[in-house]
Amino acid sequence: MTDLARLDGTVFAPGSPGYEANRRPANVAYHDVRPRLVVSCRSTSDVVAVVSYAATAGERLAVRGGGHCFAGRSSTDGIVLDLSELNDVTVAADGVATIGAGARLGQVYPALHAHGRTLPAGCGPTVGITGLTLGGGIGLLGRQYGLTCDRLVGAQVVLADGSVVNCDDAHEPKLFWALRGAGGGQFGVVTALQFATVPEPLTTRVEAWWSDVAVERVMAAWQAWAPDAPDQLTVNLAVIAEPGEPVAVTAFGAATLPEADTHGLLREFTQLAGLPPVTELIPDMPVHRLKASFSDSGEPGRAVRIRSEFFTRPMPDDTLASLTSDLTAGPIHTTRQLSFTAMGGAYDRVPVGATAFAHRGQRFLLEHTAAAGDPWVDRSWHAAHGDASGRVYPNFPDLELDDWPAAYHAENHARLVEVKNAYDPHRFFRFPQSL
């Protein structure tokens, strides 16, 4: 059996210094899970050793980047393989960035900014670049530049048999295809990612809050407007019910357009929604500062539950009315939030079979988020479900789905199973809803 005593990284066992700090994932819902070992890897050879050790010993292995998985897939009572120390970011003269698989977004954006480059990716600063990329990667620049995985040009992966493969369009192309959108942890442990970065644009930051508004009209206006806005403008919408407060609505996002043009476009939305105009925009923000400015959105200190779905068409009035009345129905003890994310634009300019991400052609994504245990999440999800496309973003795993292969993978599912059979035939990388 491989010797874990000779690693570049560190092994944390229960009772050893650092075990408590290292065993917990970022997602507080899984803070009680106690792994038998946490191995913090510092090199690809460490990853090979841990995979070989776990495979030989028949131990369950959970791969952890940022530790945010909503379904707890980076936690286990077996061995946690933690990649957070593999976090180097280098950028070559041609703009291709090589990023250690354990880097978090809060490390990636400033490192790319130092080279005048960036990536379309998410906002949470502690979200792992690899977890995000393997499931797709939706962000405020995505309608202009596509998913994070659309910028992936290569990856290094440690397979279940301990072999190390470098994949791209020309080498192991089926694996490379599958890494772009099937969701994390399916085929092997990714140790490094290579991205074709984009020149970092200056952005105009958008954020506005309103309360005491006609919520149904605002949601209808956003659904009609945001997915068809120019690609250079992404505006998302959140409808928030707090205990004892009137329902609040916030629109937030970014444009790679001048401030005056952004104002003009936002006026179309506020007029349609019957809202007072957006008064304050912040122009000329580089992307790493834009992202940092939205960094506290959605980082709850308590366990939350999220269910979501994609939509290809605006919701009818009766669905909008149900969502609105449900939001404040029954006792509200903690925050409930409906979050609408605009799709369209560059997300749809990649053919559906070109990557494993199956959800091209969707207009928007709706998340229902509340404290774990609040029955509103299911009620609200079901109220919208009849109008949804039935597609679910693999980075928002939902253990309640009736038909998860169709929801996550749609027409790509059969091809993904073939890749799984080829690269992990014994299902060493296994968790609920894995291929």
Ligand X SMILES: Cc1cc2nc3c(=O)[nH]c(=O)nc-3n(C[C@H](O)[C@H](O)[C@H](O)COP(=O)(O)OP(=O)(O)OC[C@H]3O[C@@H](n4cnc5c(N)ncnc54)[C@H](O)[C@@H]3O)c2cc1C
Question: Quick one: 206 or 275, whose CB is closer to ligand X?
Answer: 206
Question: Quick one: 69 or 343, whose CB is closer to ligand X?
Answer: 69
Q: What angle do CA 302, 82, 182 make, to 5 degrees?
A: 80
Other C-beta atoms closer than 10 Å to the C-beta of 412 total: 22
For residues 234 and 211, give the distance between their C-alpha atoms in angstroms, rounded to a whole number.
22
Helix (H) or strand (E) holding 379: helix 376-385
Closest distance between ligand X and the C-beta of residue 30, in Å? 9
Q: Does 89 bind ligand X (CB under 6 A)?
A: no
- 224 burial via Cβ count (<10 Å: 0-12, 13-18, 19+): middle
Stretch of 182-190, 214-222, 255-263, 409-417 contacting ligand X, by CB under 6 A: 182-190
Q: Does 138 bind ligand X (CB under 6 A)?
A: yes
Q: Does 185 bind ligand X (CB under 6 A)?
A: yes
Q: Does 131 bind ligand X (CB under 6 A)?
A: yes
Closest distance between ligand X and the C-beta of residue 18, in Å? 18
Closest distance between ligand X and the C-beta of residue 136, in Å? 6
Give me the phi and psi of 105, to 5 degrees please.
-60, -35
Closest distance between ligand X and the C-beta of residue 272, in Å? 25
Question: Quick one: 239 or 383, whose CB is closer to ligand X?
Answer: 239
Question: Quick one: 204 or 341, whose CB is closer to ligand X?
Answer: 341
DSSP symbol at 104 = B
Which residues inside 103-122 make contact with ligand X, applying CB under 6 A?
122
Q: Does 416 bind ligand X (CB under 6 A)?
A: no
Q: Does 182 bind ligand X (CB under 6 A)?
A: no
CA–chain centroid gap for 194, Å, is: 18
Window 8-47: contact mask with ligand X (x via CB under 6 A): -----------------x----------------------
Using CB under 6 A, which of 11, 89, 101, 342 touches ligand X?
A: 101
Strands (E), 227-378: 233-241, 248-255, 281-286, 304-311, 336-342, 364-371
CB 249 within 8 A of CB 221: no
Q: Does 407 bind ligand X (CB under 6 A)?
A: no
Q: Does 123 bind ligand X (CB under 6 A)?
A: yes
Window 46-85: contact mask with ligand X (x via CB under 6 A): ----------------xxxxxxxxx--xx--------x--
Tell me how many residues contact ligand X (CB under 6 A): 35
Q: Does 298 bind ligand X (CB under 6 A)?
A: yes
Question: Quick one: 120 or 314, whose CB is closer to ligand X?
Answer: 120
- Quick one: which of 185, 193, 167, 194 has its CA closest to 51? 185
Residue position matching structure tokens 């099937």? 182
CA–chain centroid gap for 322, Å, is: 27
Question: Quick one: 216 or 398, whose CB is closer to ligand X?
Answer: 398
Which residues inside 237-296 make contact with ligand X, applying CB under 6 A?
none
Helix (H) or strand (E) holding 318: helix 317-327
DSSP sequence for 178-220: HHTTS-TTSSSEEEEEEEE-EEPPEEEEEEEEEESS-HHHHHH
Q: Does 344 bind ligand X (CB under 6 A)?
A: no
Q: Does 132 bind ligand X (CB under 6 A)?
A: yes
For residues 210 and 219, give the distance between their C-alpha atoms in angstroms, rounded to a whole number.
13
For residues 10 and 12, give the distance between their C-alpha atoms in angstroms, rounded to a whole number.
6
Take residue 331 and report the two structure tokens written for it.
Answer: 């006792």
Using CB under 6 A, which of 4, 11, 119, 127 touches ligand X?
A: 127
Question: Quick one: 48 or 320, whose CB is closer to ligand X?
Answer: 48
Q: How far is CA 330 from CA 299, 334, 336, 381, in A?
A: 25, 12, 12, 16
Name the site residues for ligand X (rule: CB under 6 A): 25, 62-70, 73-74, 83, 101, 122-124, 127-128, 130-132, 134-139, 184-185, 189-190, 298-299, 395
